[in-house]
Structure 1
C-alpha cells in the first residue's frame, strides 16, 4: 500500500442509469477523466459521496475495476472497502488487492459500537489481505467510535494504519495528531476544516465536493500547500466555502450530482433513500457556481 499520499484525493460520485438500477459505466469513466484533467491527485472509489451503502458488493468491485483501468498510473487510485459487514469488507479488500490499487480506505463496521480491541482485530484481518497499512476512515458520528490520539498512535505502531481520513467530533485531537510524529498522517476529512487542516500541515484531503468542482479544490491545495500564500488561499476559500456550506445544509450527495449535471456531466440521481435535489436548490447552487466563476465542463 502506498505510504506517500498528498493533495486532493477526490471521493467521486457513482453515476447511475435513469432508473437507478445499474451503474452508468461510461459516465463513470468520463468522471474519472474529468478528475485527472483537472489535476486531482487521486480518486477514492465507492466512498461515502459514492453512495457505498446503496451499492452491492458486485457493483463496488466493478467500480474498482473501472477506476483501476482508467486511473492506474495517472492518478492515485484508492478503493474504499469499508462496510457494515466484515465478510464484504474482506471480499472487497481481496479484489482491490488483486487489481493493484494504490491504497485502501476503511471504515469500521458501523452498526455495532465496537470496542478498540474489536477495531484492532478487524483491521488486522484487512491489513493481512491488503499487504500493508491502510487509511483509517475516522467518522465517529457514523461509527460511534471516538478513538483517542494514543489509540491512533498504537494503530500506526502496530502497522495497521498509515493515514487517517479525519472527520472527528473534536478538532483538538486533529491539531495534536498533526504535531505528533508517531500518529498516522492526517488527511483532512471534514469539509469545514479543510483550509485550517491544510494550513496546519496536513499533506492532503479526502473530499467529496471535488467530484464536481475539482479545479477550486486543486487551486486551494496549491495556494496553501505548494505556494504557502494565505492571501490567495483565502480568496479561493471565499469561492469554495459557500458551495460546500450550501451542500452541507441541503443534501451533500444530491447537490454534488446536481452540480455535476449543471456543469454538463450528468451522473443520474442518487439512489434511495436519498432524493434528488429539488429545482429550487439547483437554481441556488447555479448562482453559487456562477459567483465562483465555475463554468461548464469542456466536452
Structure 2
C-alpha cells in the first residue's frame, strides 16, 4: 500500500525563488566577445524549463575573465530576454571593496535585482575585515545582497558567527552555501531568517529538507527541469521520489562538478555538444578534450533517459 503523503509548504523566505541557475556566460567561437544573442536564448530556455531565477557573472559565469562592461552588457541582455518574470542576481565579488561597490552600482543600473558577494579573495582578511567588507557593500547597495561562502576558491570562510551578525543587516537577505559545513548550515537556518541556498548540487535536497530555500546550481545549465523536480516532489510530500530523483542526477553532478576540470568547463562542454549556446571558456581555462567530452555526454544520456 502506498504511503500517504502530505504536501510540504515551501520554506520562507524565498526572495529569488527556489530553483536558481548559476548561468554560464556564452562567448563567440573564439572566446573574444560575449555571445549576447546566445545568452538570451539560454536564459529564456532555463526559465522555461523550471529555473525561478538566474545568477549571472558568478564563478560558473567566468567573472574573473569578463570585463566590468561585459558584466553589465550581460545583465541587460538577459533582462531583456526574461523580462520581470525571473529575478537576476549578479556576482560583484572582487578582492577590492571599492571595486565591489562600483560593480554593485553598475549591476543595479543594468537591471539586476540583487547582487552576489564573495569574501575578498587571495589577501585572506580576518573575519572583522570580511564583515566590514560586506557591510560596506550592503550599505552602498540599492538592491538585496546574497553572501557567497565558498572557501575553496576564496581561501577564507565566512564564519558562522560572522554570518549571524551580518544577518541583522537589512540589505543582506540570503546566503549561497558552498562551505561543505552541514552543521553550520543547520545552525544558521535555525537562528536566522536568511534565505539559504545550496551552492553544491549534491546538497540540494539535503539542505532543502532541513529548511533551506533552494539552490543556486551549475548543473541546472544542463538539466534544469530534472533538478527542479527534486524540490517539487519534496514539496508534494513524496520524499522518497525526491530522493530517487536526486540520486538519478548524482552521476551527472559528479561528472560536472567533481572532476579535475573547473565547473565552468564541463557545463559549457555539454551545452556545446547538445547544440545550446555556450562557446569556449576563456583562458586560462581550456576546453575539455575529446575523451572527457564523450564521457560527459554518455553520463548525460544515461541520466536523462532513466
TM-score, normalising length from structure 1?
0.91
Query: Could you list the per-position Cα deviations for residues 69-91 of structure 1 after superposition, in whole angstroms to 9, with x for gaps in the alignment?
Result: 22231211111111223333222
Query: Greater shift after overlay, 248-257 or 26-35?
Result: 248-257
> Structure 1: which 5+ residue stretches go unaligned?
none
Alpha-carbon distance, 1:133 to partner: 4.3
Which of the residues 229, 238, 245 maps onto 1:229? Answer: 238
Partners of 2:228 and 2:107 in 1: how far apart?
26
Answering whether residue 194 of structure 2 is matched by residue 184 of structure 1, we say yes
Which of the residues 46, 66, 86 maps onto 1:35? Answer: 46
Query: Could you list the per-position Cα deviations for residues 28-61 of structure 1 after superposition, in whole angstroms to 9, with x for gaps in the alignment?
Result: 1111011111021000011110111111111111
Q: Give the equivalent residue in structure 1 for 2:219.
A: 209
Give secondary structure in 1 for the equivalent of 2:259: helix
Give secondary structure in 2 for the equivalent of 1:186: strand
Distance 1:99 1:294, change over 3 A: farther
Indicate if the aligned counterparts of 1:65 and 1:99 stay in contact, CA closer than 8 A: yes
Indicate if the aligned counterparts of 2:115 and 2:143 stay in contact, CA closer than 8 A: no
Distance 1:94 1:294, change over 3 A: farther
Alpha-carbon distance, 1:183 to partner: 5.4
Indicate if the aligned counterparts of 2:114 and 2:143 stay in contact, CA closer than 8 A: no
What is the aligned-residue RMSD (CA, Å)? 2.0
Matches within 5 A, 1:252-271: 252-271=263-282
TM-score, normalising length from structure 2?
0.89
Alpha-carbon distance, 1:207 to partner: 1.1
Alpha-carbon distance, 1:176 to partner: 1.4
Q: Give the equivalent residue in structure 2 for 1:51.
A: 62
Partners of 2:240 and 2:180 in 1: how far apart?
28
Alpha-carbon distance, 1:106 to partner: 0.7
Q: Give the equivalent residue in structure 2 for 1:241.
A: 250
Which of the residues 290, 294, 299 maps onto 1:279? Answer: 290
Q: Give the equivalent residue in structure 1 for 2:80.
A: 69
Answering whether residue 207 of structure 2 is matched by residue 200 of structure 1, we say no
Q: Give the equivalent residue in structure 2 for 1:144.
A: 155
Alpha-carbon distance, 1:25 to partner: 0.9
Partners of 2:215 and 2:27 in 1: how far apart?
26
Which of the residues 94, 109, 117 maps onto 1:106? Answer: 117
Partners of 2:15 and 2:211 in 1: how far apart?
14
Q: Give the equivalent residue in structure 2 for 1:162.
A: 173
